C-alpha cells in the first residue's frame, strides 16, 4: 500500500519565475478573507510575506471576529504563511498599530497591503487615507463583485467556514456554529447581506484547499455582548451580538 500524500494547496504546486510584488495580507480569519487570500495565491502575482491580524491586547483575540490568537496561529501554520499579530489597546489605536506595522514591512520591501473587502466604499476610503500617505498600495481581490457573486465563488472554493458572531437583531443565536453552505444561504432572512458585509455575521475558516490540514476547534457556547461604535456625526451607537466562545 502506498501512503496517501499530504494535502498541498494548489498555489504551492504552481511556480512562477518572474519577480512578484511583496505584500502583506490583512487576515481576519473568516470566509471573505480566506477567499481573497485563496484568489491571491492562485494568481501568484504577489509574494505574501505575512498574514497581519489586529489583536485585542486584553483578550488576546482578533479585534472583530474575537478569534483566539492560538487559533489564528494554527490557521497561519496550516496555510504556510507566518502570522504577524498587531496588539491594540487604549494606548495603541488601530491607526497607530498599522503605522508601526507598515514601517516594519516596508523595511522588508513590502509595497502592497491586501484586504478582503467587497463593496463598503467608506471602509476602503479609510484604508486608502491611512495607507497611501505611508507609501502602501491597497489590493482588494474581491472588490466590485456582488455579494451573490462572492458567495458563489466561496461555495465553489471548497473552503469550510462556520459562523462565530451574529448581529443579534439580524440573526439569532441559532445561527452560531452553522456551516456556510447552500442551506445557510437559503435560510437567510430578507435584508441580511449574503456575505454579512454590513456586519450581520462573522466567521472562522478551518479547512479546504487553502489549508494543508484542517483546524480543530470547539464552540462551547454563545454569549450576548454589546459593542459601541462612534458614528460619523460623533454620536455613539450600541449594537448587540451573539458571540461564540471558541477554543482549540
Q: What 3-state class would DSSP assign to 47?
A: strand
pLDDT at 230: 65
Question: Which residue, chain included where needed, has cell 486584553?
Answer: 58
Q: Which helix (H) or strand (E) holds 138?
A: strand 137-139
Task: Name the nearest CA neighbour of 94 among 140, 63, 70, 117.
Answer: 63
Give the C-alpha separation, 183 to 169, whole Å: 21
pLDDT average, residue stretch 23-32? 97
The pTM of this model reads 0.89
pLDDT at 232: 60
Mean pLDDT computed over every residue of the chain:
90
Q: Is the pLDDT of residue 2 over 60?
A: no
Task: Name the nearest CA neighbour of 53 among 66, 38, 39.
Answer: 66
Q: Are 218 and 202 in contact (CB under 8 A)?
A: no
pLDDT in tens, 32-69: 999 999 999 999 999 999 999 999 999 999 987 889 99
pLDDT in tens, 151-188: 999 999 999 999 999 999 999 999 999 999 999 999 99
Give residue limits of the domains in the chain. 20-247
What CATH number matches the domain at 20-247, 3.10.129.10, 3.40.50.300, 3.30.70.930, 3.40.50.620?
A: 3.40.50.620
Task: Name the nearest CA neighbour of 55 among 24, 94, 104.
Answer: 94
Q: What 3-state class would DSSP assign to 226?
A: strand
Amino acid at each position: 500500500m502506498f501512503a496517501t500524500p499530504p494535502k498541498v494547496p494548489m498555489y504551492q504546486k504552481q511556480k512562477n519565475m518572474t519577480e512578484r510584488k511583496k505584500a502583506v495580507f490583512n487576515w481576519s480569519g473568516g470566509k471573505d478573507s480566506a477567499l481573497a487570500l485563496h484568489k491571491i495565491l492562485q494568481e501568484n502575482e504577489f509574494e505574501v510575506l505575512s498574514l497581519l491580524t489586529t489583536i485585542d491586547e486584553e483578550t488576546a483575540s482578533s479585534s472583530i471576529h474575537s478569534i483566539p490568537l492560538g487559533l489564528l496561529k494554527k490557521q497561519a501554520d496550516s496555510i504556510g504563511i507566518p502570522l504577524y499579530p498587531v496588539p491594540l489597546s487604549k494606548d495603541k489605536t488601530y491607526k497607530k498599530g498599522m503605522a508601526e506595522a507598515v514601517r516594519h514591512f516596508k523595511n522588508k520591501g513590502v509595497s502592497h497591503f491586501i484586504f478582503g473587502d467587497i463593496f463598503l466604499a467608506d471602509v476602503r476610503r479609510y484604508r486608502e487615507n491611512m495607507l497611501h500617505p505611508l507609501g502602501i498600495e491597497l489590493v482588494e481581490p474581491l472588490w466590485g463583485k456582488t455579494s451573490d457573486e462572492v458567495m458563489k465563488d466561496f461555495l465553489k472554493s471548497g473552503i469550510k467556514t462556520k459562523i462565530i458572531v451574529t448581529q443579534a437583531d439580524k440573526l439569532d443565536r441559532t445561527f452560531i456554529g452553522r456551516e456556510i453552505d447552500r442551506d445557510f444561504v437559503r435560510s437567510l432572512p430578507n435584508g441580511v447581506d449574503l456575505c454579512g458585509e454590513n456586519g450581520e455575521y462573522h466567521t472562522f475558516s478551518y479547512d479546504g484547499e487553502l489549508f494543508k490540514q484542517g483546524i480543530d476547534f470547539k464552540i462551547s457556547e454563545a454569549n450576548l455582548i454589546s459593542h459601541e461604535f462612534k458614528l460619523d456625526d460623533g454620536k455613539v451607537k450600541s449594537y448587540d451580538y451573539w458571540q461564540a466562545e471558541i477554543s482549540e
